[in-house]
Chain A
């Protein structure tokens, strides 16, 4: 499968301090689904990705295909491959459609 690449025209940033807070909340059992940790600046608008989305985004550097991204995430999260794989598939499909991710 082709490698995934972030659209180079998109300016983005990992909000490190926020990410630390979200990771801590996650460790304490909190719901962090709606907590943004990566910001994307697109045409003057800001969009946010949550922890998992931000990690996928970070991994889309042109060196990995979708399966390899799943492999990487499984090292971070203790969940079934099928669950992570479904999340990655949905996320990648959405961002490909928006043009925020491209195939390298």
Chain B
């Protein structure tokens, strides 16, 4: 099936790769903490890297689970970076001391992101159910900076931090972070179970984005990124992205620990397995991926003047709450 995405892109630009669902933390919003999947051997993982190299996928980002749980993370990263892949990861920072940071640098990591949800230590620790985790996370940022690795900070916006997001920016500056991601809240896994306590109302999301976008426009010493397609429906929003709507299934795909491919980590629809299926066939012909690329306006999206910009917002959130990829994003304020 020919379409604008596959006519343009012969493969995704990024694979978000969950090497393991194992984690030393138990966070309130985690999409994957209650997931389980068989993990692959180092050699099988290297075979996947070979596939990604053949398909010319330029970026891989290890997530999880905690990537540093895998003893072979450095070996895998070295294997991938030696073949030209740009490797990054997101970590909670608990297992990352100065020696580890130096090893990550030597292995070829281009950047490492640390998750921090509040600039207040007690609040972060409580959210992450891990006393001492704030101190470890900020120390990890410092160690990475000292080792010469570009750092990013990932903060999931929720009720605990949306009114105080500027303090997260200040924290990032204090620890020499190059880019902060203010992630939108996903209703997956524990995020779905704890949605009532953690998620904002659509109106609160709108207020947050209006304010945060203004701050972003006024900031030149720190890159501030959002990854929320619903933002495109804000009046006057002009930032250009590579694709309209969710980038999942268009610019990025997700790998589960057993090699299964899903459009993103938050959509549990397996489109195939990278080790046993023909990747190009999946990329061009998967009904799930093509469904994400050709959403049809449903519900209040029908006739909405913003639909051509947001394409219904976050497909993962729509699917999690309705079971339908094309339903409107529940965060939409329109």
Binding site secondary structure of chain B: loop
Give Cα distance in the complex from A7 to B167, angstroms: 36
Say yes or no for B13: interface residue by CB 8 A criterion.
yes
Judging by beta carbons under 8 Å apart, are B56 and A11 in contact? no
A41 to B13, CA, bound (A): 10
Asked whether A18 lies within 8 Å of B10 as measured between CB atoms, the reply is: yes
Residue interface mask B251-269, A partner, CB < 8 A = 1: 0000000000000000000
A41 touches B7 (CB 8 A): no
B10 x A16 contact (CB < 8 A): yes
A46 touches B242 (CB 8 A): yes
How far is B206's CA from A54's CA once the two chains are assembled, in angstroms?
Answer: 42
Q: Does B189 contact A (CB under 8 A)?
A: no
Asked, given contacts A11-B86, A41-B13, A46-B242, whether A18 binds B56 with beta carbons under 8 Å apart, the answer is no
Q: Does A98 contact B (CB under 8 A)?
A: no
Q: Is A15's CB under 8 angstroms from B10's CB? A: yes
Which A residues from 16 to 63 make CB contacts under 8 A with B?
16-18, 39, 41, 45-46
Interface flags for A92-103 (1: CB within 8 Å of B; 0: not) read 000000000000
A46 vs B8: C-alpha distance in the bound complex, in angstroms?
11
Question: Which residues in A have their C-beta under 8 angstroms from that of B86?
Answer: 11
Question: A70-103 vs B: 1/0 string, CB under 8 Å?
Answer: 0000000000000000000000000000000000
Residues of chain A contacted by B7 (CB below 8 angstroms): 18
With a cutoff of 8 Å between Cβ atoms, the chain B residues found around residue A46 in the complex are 242
**Contact digits for B6-41, partner A, Cβ 8 Å, 1 yes 0 no:** 011110010000000000000000000000000000
Instruction: Indicate whether A14 reaches chain B with its CB closer than 8 angstroms.
Output: yes
Tell me whether A18 and B8 are in contact (CB under 8 A): yes
Q: Does B59 make an interface contact (CB < 8 A)?
A: yes
Distance in angstroms from B30 CB to nearest chain A CB is 27
**Quick check: A17 and B10 within 8 Å, CB to CB?**
yes
List residues of chain A with CB within 8 A of the CB of B58.
11-13, 41
Q: Which residue of A is nearest B9, CB measured?
A: A15
Judging by beta carbons under 8 Å apart, are A14 and B56 in contact? yes
Q: How many residues of B contact A (CB 8 A)?
A: 11
Chain B nearest CB, measured from A21 CB (Å) = 8
Q: How distant is the Cα of A41 from the Cα of B7 in the complex, in angstroms?
A: 17
In the complex, which residues of chain B have a beta carbon less than 8 angstroms from the beta carbon of A15?
8-10
Q: Pick from B9, B10, B58, B240 the residue with the most CB of A within 10 Å.
A: B10
Instruction: Please give, as numbers and ranges, the residues of chain A lying within 8 Å of B9 by CB-CB distance.
Output: 15, 39
Closest beta carbon of chain B to A16's beta carbon, Å: 6
Question: Chain A residue with minimal CB distance to B242?
Answer: A46
B56 to chain A, nearest CB (A): 5
Contacts of B56 in A (CB 8 A): 13-14, 16
Cβ-neighbour of B59 out of A11, A17, A39, A45 (below 8 A): A11
Apart from A13-B56, A16-B56, A45-B240: 9 A-B pairs, beta carbons within 8 A: A11-B59, A11-B86, A12-B58, A13-B58, A15-B8, A16-B10, A18-B7, A18-B8, A41-B58
Going nearest first, the 5 A-B pairs with the smallest beta carbon separation are: A11-B58, A17-B10, A13-B56, A15-B10, A46-B242
